[in-house]
Chain A
Amino acid sequence: DTAVSQTPKYLVTQMGNDKSIKCEQNLGHDTMYWYKQDSKKFLKIMFSYNNKELIINETVPNRFSPKSPDKAHLNLHINSLELGDSAVYFCASSQELHNEQFFGPGTRLTVL
């Protein structure tokens, strides 16, 4: 009964490839997020969706495209992967009237 799940957990790929990371939450939350944690452990928000609507789009290359087919899912598609995209990507969710964000286990992306 995982609350926020991500697949895959590990992703190793070559530069230039296109890849997707999937996120699902079964908490009934209405808001979902993508965060990136770099090699120095610094966490930064990338995107946020509320009820399938994009509400936060930080300064992220347009090679990154989030997609929310429904409010329980927020997928991240990355085109033309670059070495600098190597990081851990966390999905999170929260309920509008509550404060804490619940994080998924993370996806470690390695671009070779």
Chain B
Amino acid sequence: AQKITQTQPGMFVQEKEAVTLDCTYDTSDQSYGLFWYKQPSSGEMIFLIYQGSYDEQNATEGRYSLNFQKARKSANLVISASQLGDSAMYFCAMREGYRAKYGNKLVFGAGTILRVKS
């Protein structure tokens, strides 16, 4: 089974509007972490936001927020007030379990390409 599922291969959003990128995950561990990374066309991987499985509040970082619904095993990324520079590939990733169990590795989803229209 896929550990991380991103069902939207591509998304369009109008500039200045909000957009939600979906991510569902599969784990039997109680302790895990969820991440979102941005990969622009230039190729680098940029860390955006992190949510721990025990965090009660949804994570926020500037225009990025993570809509964490533990019971549904979803960790959607919400980008508010989209900008042209937000056009990129977005990856959801999970770190399962404690560090000693899996060595802190990240398992990535297939990614969602976001295009912001002017």
Contact = CB atoms under 8 A, between A and B. Distances in A.
A33 B105 contact: yes
Interface stretch (B19-27, B41-49, B62-70, B77-85): B41-49
Nearest to A88: B43
A77 interface: no
Majority-rule SS of A interface residues: strand
Contacts of A92: 45
A55 B98 CA distance: 13
B106 A106 contact: no
Given A43-B91, A48-B103, A56-B105, A100 B35 contact: yes
A42 B107 CA distance: 10
Interface in B1-57: 33, 35, 37, 39, 43-47, 50, 52
A97 to B, nearest CB: 9
A100 B43 CA distance: 18
A21 to B, nearest CB: 15
Q: Which range holds the interface residue count of chain B?
A: 20 to 34
Nearest to B42: A105
Contacts of B115: none
Contact of A99 (B39, B43, B95): B95
A101 B47 contact: yes
Contact of B43 (A44, A56, A105): A105
Contact of B35 (A42, A88, A99): A99
20 contacts: A33-B105, A41-B39, A41-B89, A42-B108, A42-B110, A42-B111, A43-B93, A45-B105, A45-B107, A48-B104, A50-B103, A55-B103, A56-B102, A58-B105, A90-B45, A99-B35, A103-B37, A103-B44, A105-B43, A106-B45
Interface of A: 31, 33, 35, 40-45, 48, 50, 55-56, 58, 88, 90, 92, 94, 96, 99-103, 105-106, 108
